Amino acid sequence: MFTASHNPARYNGIKLCRAGAVAIGQETGLAEISRRAQADLDVPGPLAGSEAAPAALEQLNLLDEYARYLRSLVDLNKIRPLRVVVDAANGMGGYTVPAVLGGAVLDELPLTIVPMYFELDGSFPNHEANPLEPANLVDLQAAVVRAGADIGLAFDGDADRCFVVDAEGDPVSPSAITALIATRELARQPGATIIHNLITSRAVPEIITEHGGRPVRTRVGHSLIKAEMARTGALFGGEHSAHYYFHDFWRADTGMLAAMHVLAALGEQDGSLRELTAQFDRYADSGELNSTVVSPSASLQAVRAAFATRTQTTDELDGLTIDLGDGSWLNIRPSNTEPLLRLNVEARTPAAMAAIRDEALAVIRGSQLPAPSA
């Protein structure tokens, strides 16, 4: 698949997978593919194998089959009427939403879709196709309030992520969405395993356990989560970045199927989305905060030392997670591609979260300053 996902227009790339949508990561083949590709590029002249006869080309339009399959997984025919604003960000959601939710292919659903930026345009003329950035949600938030909608949905460029906005225009935490979908899936298959990465709220494993499921905590990253889903036979998995993975979708992440679950949950009862998701929102979180650093390892150790006297436990599953007790924790982990440290903090109250967040950021950024001269 040629895709830039949520990245700016100047980026593109090739997403690779094995048969059955099995992910390929650096440790499972991607590094070797890169090495071979670079070897070809380093040799002047035609690329290896370029003189072979071209393969036959076959064109397939899978949109109808895609829509029918998703509709078979979540029944939206019997929900109450909902007004839904959808910001496709000029990405693939503008192609798939009309087919799956809008009645362009199948029978119409009790949904009134208010479209935003459905025109396919890889230059992303309205805003970047990355709903993780708050600035890219502003148009949707305003449109939801203006339209008197029940819910807003924001997709990234390839629509494998979906952010949700309530009727008041406020974003709903991806952790709350993970917990909501987990309860629906556990109702369908009691006792199932549910994956959550280590940045999701602690409410997620609590709620999974309360509903009879088995929570499994993983590192951040789609190839890692897909591999863990295969290993454990997990039914569903969710990430803080609004990636949602489904066993019934070849363990792949799909924003559309996640959106359908949220629409079904909302439409099967009479309350608002805010009322529905309040039960899944138990802690205050910082969101992911990035700091440019000279030495990620030095900053990480500085944070470890700063919180040492208050630390209950630590683990290094992905970066460094420090449990401070009473529901408070922080995680710092280096970026794989940039000189960045990513910080996530959670606590029982906004004030407690803010205090830990500000202290950690001061340590991270202060540890990179030159020592004062004598």
User: Does residue 319 share a domain with residue 196?
Assistant: no
Q: Is the pLDDT of residue 350 over 50?
A: yes
The mean pLDDT of the chain is 91
Q: In this structure, is residue 371 part of a structural domain? A: no
User: Does residue 310 share a domain with residue 259?
Assistant: no
Residue 337 CA, distance from chain mean position:
18
Q: In this structure, is residue 211 part of a structural domain? A: yes
What is the average per-residue pLDDT within 26-49?
A: 81
Q: In this structure, is residue 294 part of a structural domain? A: yes
Lowest mean pLDDT among 82-86, 122-126, 346-350: 122-126
Q: Three-state SS string across the chain, please?
A: CEECCCCCCCCCEECCEEHHHEECCHHHCHHHHHHHHHHHHHCCCCCCCCCCCCCCCCCCCCHHHHHHHHHHHCCCCCCCCEEEEEECCCCCHHHHHHHHCCCCCCCCCCEEEEEECCCCCCCCCCCCCCCCCHHHHHHHHHHHHHHCCCEEEEECCCCCEEEEECCCCCEECHHHHHHHHHHHHHHHCCCCEEEEECCCCCHHHHHHHHCCCEEEEECCCHHHHHHHHHHHCCCEEECCCCEEEEHHHCCCECHHHHHHHHHHHHHCCCCCHHHHHHHHCCCEECCCEEEECCCHHHHHHHHHHHCHHHCCEEECCCCEEEEEECCEEEEEEECCCCCEEEEEEEECCHHHHHHHHHHHHHHHHHCCCCCCCC
Q: In this structure, is residue 262 part of a structural domain? A: yes
Q: In this structure, is residue 57 part of a structural domain? A: no
Distance (Å, rounded) from C-alpha 228 to C-alpha 238? 12
Q: In this structure, is residue 346 part of a structural domain? A: yes
What is the average per-residue pLDDT within 227-249?
A: 94
- For residue 367, the model assigns a pLDDT of 57
User: Does residue 306 share a domain with residue 174?
Assistant: no
Question: In one letter, which amino acid is 23?
Answer: A
Q: Is the pLDDT of residue 274 over 60?
A: yes
Give the CATH number of the domain where residue 168 resides. Answer: 3.40.120.10
User: Does residue 181 share a domain with residue 84?
Assistant: yes
Q: In this structure, is residue 235 part of a structural domain? A: yes
Lowest mean pLDDT among 39-48, 61-70, 80-89, 114-123: 39-48
Does residue 5 carry a catalytic annotation?
A: yes
- Is residue 152 within 8 A of residue 164, CB to CB? The reply is yes
- For residue 28, the model assigns a pLDDT of 83
User: Does residue 200 share a domain with residue 132?
Assistant: yes
- Structural domain including 184 reads 63-280
- For residue 6, the model assigns a pLDDT of 65
User: Does residue 149 share a domain with residue 128?
Assistant: yes
Q: Given 280, 312, 335, which residue is the final one in a domain? A: 280
Q: Is the pLDDT of residue 372 over 50?
A: no
Q: Is the pLDDT of residue 317 over 90?
A: yes
Q: Is the pLDDT of residue 373 over 60?
A: no
Higher pLDDT, 113 or 293: 113
Q: Is the pLDDT of residue 175 over 50?
A: yes
Read off the pLDDT of residues 11-30 as tens digits, 9 standing for 90 and up. Answer: 667 778 888 777 787 888 88
At residue 210's C-alpha, the angle toward residues 208 and 216, to 5°, is: 30
Lowest mean pLDDT among 135-139, 209-213, 290-294, 302-306: 290-294
User: Does residue 341 share a domain with residue 217?
Assistant: no
Residue with tokens 């399959």: 69
Distance (Å, rounded) from C-alpha 314 to C-alpha 188? 35
User: Does residue 189 share a domain with residue 71?
Assistant: yes
Lowest mean pLDDT among 37-46, 159-168, 252-261, 264-273: 37-46
Read off the pLDDT of residues 99-139 as tens digits, 9 standing for 90 and up. Answer: 999 988 899 999 999 999 999 998 899 999 999 899 999 99
36-to-22, 31, 317 alpha-carbon distances in Å: 21, 9, 31
Out of 5, 173, 291, 328, pick the active-site residue.
Answer: 5
- For residue 48, the model assigns a pLDDT of 58
- For residue 371, the model assigns a pLDDT of 43
Q: Looking at the 3D structure of the chain, how many domains does it have?
A: 3
User: Does residue 218 share a domain with residue 122?
Assistant: yes
User: Does residue 294 share a domain with residue 268?
Assistant: no
User: Does residue 295 share a domain with residue 324?
Assistant: yes
Q: What percent of the chain has pLDDT over 90?
A: 73
Q: Given 260, 280, 300, which residue is the final one in a domain? A: 280
Give the CATH number of the domain where residue 339 resides. Answer: 3.30.310.50
- Is residue 24 within 8 A of residue 34, CB to CB? The reply is no
User: Does residue 362 share a domain with residue 229?
Assistant: no
Q: Given 237, 257, 280, which residue is the final one in a domain? A: 280
Lowest mean pLDDT among 51-65, 147-161, 258-272: 51-65
- For residue 223, the model assigns a pLDDT of 78
Of the spans 39-53, 231-245, 332-346, which averages the highest pLDDT? Answer: 231-245
Q: In this structure, is residue 350 part of a structural domain? A: yes
pTM for this entry: 0.88
